[in-house]
Amino acid sequence: MGLPKLAITPAKPDKLRALGVIALNGMFDEMDALGVLRYAIEEVLPGDIAIVSSFGADSAVLLHLVSQVDRALPVYFLETGKHFAETLAYVETLRQRFGLTRVTALHPDPADVARFDPDGQLWERDPDSCCHIRKTEPLEPVTAQFGGWVTGRKRYQTAERGVLPHFELTSDDRIKINPLAYFSDSDVNAYKAQHGLPEHPLYDKGYKSIGCAPCTSVVAAGEDPRAGRWRGFNKKECGIHFDFNGAIAKPMIGQKNLWKDGAFTADPFRAWAETDSPETARYAHVPVDVFLRNRVAFLSNPHPIGLHVSPADQVEQVEADLLRFASIAIAFPAFTDGRGYSTARLLSERFGYTGEIRAVGDVLADQVPLMRRCGITAFVVTHEPTRRALESGQLATVNLFYQPVGTTEVPVGTRPFLRRAQ
């Protein structure tokens, strides 16, 4: 399934902002799910709204409501590759039954899967990261194209969702519509019965909230219906729903600052924080001194971590542990500080490190080719002209080299030091 043609510029939710979130939330009866949905699709964000559905136990209700307003509303399904076969069958059932014309499956980037989850066990080691590569990442390019989203979240589902309103303004200026916010478990069942909606094949087997197969378990009677999700992990949400009630928990879309493989992409890594723990940290660039002080704990930590190398750090000190790092960030606090070039060459040439080496900090466009030659493969760039130069591909390059540097340049001519970019 290819992506449908999408609106290029999201409509600004001016109407919503003019009314104010609170005023809008007061417009509809708590149980008027259809009214909320119709107003959102037809008045607030016409042509600029979509839905992400898990096609789980409760999804039928919301999709049925959608089909009554607009069967051509884009519906996205996160095909994580970890779903129950029953779920995949259920997608087809609902699509046909409701006549939905724009159901699209979103797949994780195979490169991410190969890199972060080569054995398919990431869900067990690090469920947050698993959700990240399978849900957050694939969804991002799509979310960027809509001004608003319809969700099926309900207040009763978890304590975190207890204050969920009909309309939310997210921290990245998008609107989330929660038509079922006030529906209880019995309201959902009543609606299903009233409209004769097909049940998820696993529902009768005790699954009340259904996500990916490895992270979904049967819920006992009286248990929170979502208790079967990520059972045993201190985890309630997959990361795509964090923002609610105007309270900013996590921006849905961070700025894409990581230039890698020819494009800006969302950065799975973040900087090390004081509050991080060596035993449980994940996707953080750990400063060399912090790593050395807590080496044993970091080595037994099962999550992907990175290394942050400051200009004065000696990478020789972590030579034996380089395989532990999924990414190494070399800091360039000022463009004039060239120590990182030596660091990069030591890592890539002498120590044979083949993971991501990224330059972080004050990087000028004209330095990018030199950094690449020294083994740097990714760039975290905030400098606007450098961003533009990377995006337009207008990097000042001289492709003939007088030095044998790096691991990919090929010898030319007779002089032993002449090289050319491969």
Residues near other proteins, by CB under 8 A = 311, 335-339, 341-343, 345, 350, 364, 366-367, 369-371, 373-374, 385, 396-406, 412-418
Helix 185-195 vs helix 59-69: angle between axes, to the nearest 10 degrees?
60
Between 6 and 418, CB nearer to other proteins: 418
- Let me know if 352 is exposed, middle or buried by CB neighbors in 10 A (0-12, 13-18, 19+): exposed
Q: Which two tokens stand for residue 248?
A: 């900013």
CB of 210 to other proteins, least distance (A): 53
Query: For this structure, is 374 an active site residue?
Result: no
User: Was 212 annotated as part of a binding site?
Assistant: yes
Catalytic one of 238, 305, 330, 347: 238
CB atoms near residue 402 (< 10 Å): 10
Return the percent helix, strand and coil in the chain, to nearest 5.
35, 15, 50
Between 186 and 336, CB nearer to other proteins: 336
What single-letter DSSP state applies at residue 222?
T
- Let me know if 205 is exposed, middle or buried by CB neighbors in 10 A (0-12, 13-18, 19+): exposed
- CA 43 vs CA 33, 39, 78, 263: distances in Å: 15, 5, 27, 35
CB of 359 to other proteins, least distance (A): 12
CB of 325 to other proteins, least distance (A): 20
CA angle 198, 97, 181 (to 5 degrees): 60
- Let me know if 343 is exposed, middle or buried by CB neighbors in 10 A (0-12, 13-18, 19+): buried
CB of 316 to other proteins, least distance (A): 10
Q: How many residues does the chain have?
A: 422
CA–CA separation, 51 vs 143, rounded Å? Answer: 10
What single-letter DSSP state applies at residue 159?
G
CB of 392 to other proteins, least distance (A): 12
User: Was 374 annotated as part of a binding site?
Assistant: no
Active site residues: 238
Annotated binding site: 130-131, 212, 215
